C-alpha cells in the first residue's frame, strides 16, 4: 500500500471508530511483499491487538485463496478473540487491479446486548434457543501471537513441530508456506524458533517450496 493510500485509510479508520463507537473495532491491514501487518486500529480493546500485530490465520487464508478476486468484500462472518469473545466481522478488500494492497476490517462486539437480552428473557422466565452454527461458518481467531497461528496451521494438518527429521521440517514449512504464514511481518524468526531450526534453514526450505 502506498504511503498516500495508507494515510487516507488511516483517517477512515479513525472516523469509523468515532462514528460507530466502542463496540466496533476498526482494523487496517497493509499487505506488501516486505511483510503484512496492522497499520491502524481503533477500539482495540475488543481483540487486544495493536499496531504491527500480524494478520490472522483467516486473513492469510483469504489472501492465499485469492478470495479478493471473487468479490470486493465479505460480511458478517463469525470471529473469536484470544479471550474467547465472540464477535461478527466484515472485511473490505483494498485492491489495485488484480493485486491486493490491504484490508479494512470491522469487528462488532454484541456481547453486552446479548447479555441484556438474556437477562430480560430470564426475568420473563423464558429461555433463548441456542444459536446453531452451520458447518460452513468460518470462525476467525483474532490473535496477535504468530506462534498461535503457526501452531493452529500445523495442528490442522496433523504435523508435529517437535519432530527433528528433515522430511518433517520440510512438510511443516510447506504447509506454513501454503497457508501464507510468510506473508506475516516478522514470521521467519518466529517459524525458526518454533521449529527449533536456524533462520537460514527456513530460507532454504522456503526457497525450495517457491522453486517447486
Residue 137: the pLDDT is 45
SS (H, E, C) 156-209: HCCCCCCCCCHHHHHHHHHHHHHCCHHHECCHHHHHHHHHCCCHHHHHHHHHHH
- Cβ–Cβ < 8 Å for 77, 169: no
CA pair distance 88, 50, nearest whole angstrom: 19
Mutual angle of helices 146-156 and 166-178, in 10-degree steps? 110
pLDDT tens for each residue of the chain, 212 residues long: 889 999 999 999 999 999 999 999 999 999 987 778 899 999 999 888 899 888 887 888 888 888 999 999 999 888 777 777 888 889 999 999 999 999 999 999 877 666 666 666 666 665 554 434 433 344 455 555 778 888 888 888 888 888 888 888 889 988 888 888 887 777 888 888 888 899 898 888 888 877 76
CATH class of 3-113: alpha beta
Rounded to two decimals, what is the model's pTM?
A: 0.63
DSSP code, position 3: H
Residue 126: the pLDDT is 57
Tell me the β-bridge partners of 73.
92
Nearest in space to 22 (alpha carbons), one of 129, 133, 86, 109: 109
Provide the 3-class DSSP secondary structure of residue 21.
coil
- Cβ–Cβ < 8 Å for 38, 104: no
Tell me how far apart the 2 most distant CA atoms of the chain are, in Å.
65
Residue 53: the pLDDT is 87
Domain boundaries, the chain: 3-113, 145-211
Amino acid at each position: 500500500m502506498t504511503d498516500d493510500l495508507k494515510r487516507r485509510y488511516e483517517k477512515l479508520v479513525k472516523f469509523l471508530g468515532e462514528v460507530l463507537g466502542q463496540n466496533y473495532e476498526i482494523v487496517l491491514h497493509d499487505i506488501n511483499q516486505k511483510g503484512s501487518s496492522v497499520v491502524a486500529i481503533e477500539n482495540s480493546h475488543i481483540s487486544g491487538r495493536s499496531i504491527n500485530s500480524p494478520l490472522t490465520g483467516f486473513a492469510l487464508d483469504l489472501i492465499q485463496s485469492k478470495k479478493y478476486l471473487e468479490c470486493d468484500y465479505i460480511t458478517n462472518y463469525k470471529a473469536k478473540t484470544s479471550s474467547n469473545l465472540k464477535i461478527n466481522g466484515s472485511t473490505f478488500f483494498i485492491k489495485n487491479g488484480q493485486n491486493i494492497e490491504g484490508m479494512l476490517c470491522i469487528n462488532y462486539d454484541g456481547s453486552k446486548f446479548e447479555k441484556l437480552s438474556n437477562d430480560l428473557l430470564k426475568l420473563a422466565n423464558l429461555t433463548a434457543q441456542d444459536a446453531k452454527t452451520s458447518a460452513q461458518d468460518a470462525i476467525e481467531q483474532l490473535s496477535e501471537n504468530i506462534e498461535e497461528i503457526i501452531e493452529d496451521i500445523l495442528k490442522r494438518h496433523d504435523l508435529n513441530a517437535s519432530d527433528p527429521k528433515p522430511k518433517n521440517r520440510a512438510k511443516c514449512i510447506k504447509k506454513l508456506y501454503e497457508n501464507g504464514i510468510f506473508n506475516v511481518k516478522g514470521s521467519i524468526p518466529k517459524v525458526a524458533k518454533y521449529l527449533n531450526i536456524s533462520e537460514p534453514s527456513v530460507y532454504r526450505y522456503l526457497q525450495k517450496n517457491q522453486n517447486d
